[in-house]
Amino acid sequence: MSKTLIIAEKPSVARELAALVNARTRRTGYLEGANYLVTWAVGHLVGIAEPKAQNDAWNGRWSLAQLPMLPQKFKLAVIPETAEQFEIVRGLIHREDVSEVVNATDAGREGELIFRRIYLAAQGKKPVRRLWANDMTEQGLRKSLANLLPEKDKRNLGLASFARAEADWLVGMNFSRLFTVKANVLISVGRVQTPVLRILAERFHEIETFVPQNYWTIEAECVKTESGEDASSFWATWHSPPDYRETRLSDEAAAGRIVAACAGGQAVVEGLESKRGTQKPPLPFDLTTLQREANVRFGYSAKDTLTFAQSLYEQKKCITYPRTDSRYLTKDVFEDILKSLRALHPHYPQLTQMAAERIAGKKRAFACVNDKKVADHHAIIPTAACIDRRRLSPEEWNIYEMISLRTIATFLGEAQFQTSTVHITAYGERFIAKGKIFKDRGWMCAEPWRARDDAPLPPLRKGNKLSLVNVQAVARQTKAPPHFTDASLLGAMETAGKFVEDESTKEALKERGLGTPATRAHIIETLVARGYVAKEGKKLIATGQGREAAAIVSRLMPDVTSPELTGNWEKKLKDIENATLSYSQFMQEIRELVRDKVELLRAKDIASLVFENRSRSPRPLDGTCPLCGAEIEETEKNFRCSRSRHSKGGCPFVIWKKMAGTDITESMAQELLRHGQTAQKYAFVSKAGTTFNARLKLEKGKISFDFSPCRQPKS
């Protein structure tokens, strides 16, 4: 009697499938039944062979003569650590009583690669069908077994998986060897890891060179003065004319004059604006948004969140496939969503009842239901499996609850609120107060941390008299951009380095992201393991070694290390999956890029560049700091006090190289340091877009505009 061989990715999944097909007899490395054999991989059993196995000329000590290494056909090699299991699987594939093979590896690009490499290396010839499971419950697996896909349905996914792995091999092997040989120091280069490292290194540079600037805002506590009316106080902020958008003052004395003019005085309500606003329910999670949210709320790394989610999927069976890049559901999945809500009901009875009533009530369209937005996998949602909280670790429960509440929130109503803006005038100065009141929190009932507390204003009308009972100038400082965390870096990787918050824009950029949801956590951990990135609490900080590698590779291959270009490569891998680009076209492009870059860099003196990078420091300027007397140094963006880099108590003196639309040259900075002013006037542009002429003046460590007639500078 012929048998079907099922190859799973992990032993645990193999055991579950074996139980469903009555393959209960244990053998070495597999289980057997009357009609089925069930075996497993242990992750990757086969990989791309090392260079020396691809070509004898690439064996031995690394040298430029070996480059570029461009195999016409990539040879595969069995991974030594799992060779015994590979031989078992290979033997089963060739058993005479096996008539077909079922690919039951993880339902994604990497799972497809694992199976196809095994089948190629084993020289399998028998027909293959694909088990594609979003739901690892018994019901979900039975449904998938009953609906096996033809192998050709996932052929393009397989081609994309080979293209990704081979492109990574070509870029990593060639450029890592080239830079290491030329620089005489180990430099690891990766198709995705190096652009990510560049993002981190650039952020480190921004923070390192940032010089804080002092500024002041003016806050006024206002009280209505009409008798018999609500006398509750509220706070308003001073705004600068003419457009009343700017609230910052760089001159402490000017702030003091406004405070002195208004303190204890009277004001009047000049105008009021009241608008109704709504906020739509969020979409369900994909893996990246889940990882970002878990990092912000609980401090979990991307890797840990994926581990917890994978456990909830594979072992606890309470969520759907987590390695998805979609935040939408198909109509078929939506038809069963009430089953998921029933499983959640014991934990969230009121919320699930509200969501169920909206779903089961009158016909309505939900933004998350869109077949066109789902490729291989839909968004992450709870399964119909009822879960006992005691079966989960605290970390697993946190992830499960996030997914559950987000799913409920998706089917609740819009949040509705009223915003009020009040314009107040006092002694020719304008103050503005804003308030917000939630009329209906809608979906925010499921995620209450999203809704800030109400900030109502007292009842006001135009012409109301107010007393300014407390007016104060609040000293503040500009802040450097924060170091990346897992959450913010995942967001940057998702949109190929473009930092956007708008959800629709994020969706448009996702196809051009760095890596995939399934690989981004691994990329971060790889950078940490190689010593290129350090973790300090939630912060991800490029190390000196990482910054050096990023600087050298970026200096010589800026296009290859560009997040945008690498994101476009990722888009092309998606195109291969969708049959709009061929595997051969993509690989030809990568081969040509590697060949061209190797030839271009072969003659470059990279060792000197390493030395230059290590010895480079900010260039000292002729002059001393007017605040502390230390040296002045020139950096890429400014002329600053050399003591500004001190982590605490650093000197704030700086002359920016761009002021009001005009470049500040070294000679202009020297004039300011030597004479306290520039000898001539220069053209500047105001925030309103108008041009004005002024000299620059340096007084008490601050740069200001001087509109007085030109005169000879002080000697």
| Active site residue ranges | 321
Look at strands 3-8 and 36-40 and give their pairing.
Answer: parallel
Kindly give, in sequence order, each residue whose CB lies less than 8 Å from that of residue 413, ignoring residues fewer than 6 positions away: 281, 358, 440, 442, 443
Look at strands 98-104 and 3-8 and give their pairing.
Answer: parallel
Give CA–CA dist 616/603, Å, rounded.
23
For tokens 């009316």, what's the residue? 229
For tokens 């609230």, what's the residue? 247
Query: Which tokens hold the place of 63?
Result: 């040298």
Cβ atoms of 191 and 168 within 8 Å: the answer is: yes
Q: Which residues pair with 320 in a beta bridge?
A: 135
DSSP string, 485-533: EHHHHHHHHHTTT-----HHHHHHHGGG-SS-TTTHHHHHHHHHHTTSE
Look at strands 128-130 and 98-104 and give their pairing.
Answer: parallel
Kindly give, in sequence order, each residue whose CB lies less than 8 Å from that of residue 260, ignoring residues fewer than 6 positions away: none
- Give the three-class secondary structure for 686: coil
For tokens 């500040």, what's the residue? 664
Cβ atoms of 269 and 424 within 8 Å: the answer is: yes
How many degrees, rounded to 5, is the angle at CA 39 between CA 33 and CA 45?
170
CA dist list (Å): 609 to 186, 543, 690 = 14, 18, 44
CA dist list (Å): 586 to 75, 176, 495, 566, 623 = 19, 21, 21, 13, 55
Give CA–CA dist 292/367, Å, rounded.
22
**Helix segments in 510-647, DSSP class H:** 520-529, 544-556, 563-577, 583-601, 606-615
From the list 484, 549, 532, 490, the residue with the least C-alpha distance to 514 is 490
Give CA–CA dist 62/173, Å, rounded.
11
Kindly give, in sequence order, each residue whose CB lies less than 8 Å from that of residue 600, ignoring residues fewer than 6 positions away: none
Return the amino acid letter for 540. L
Give me the sign of the Cα torsion angle 129, 134, 136, 137.
negative
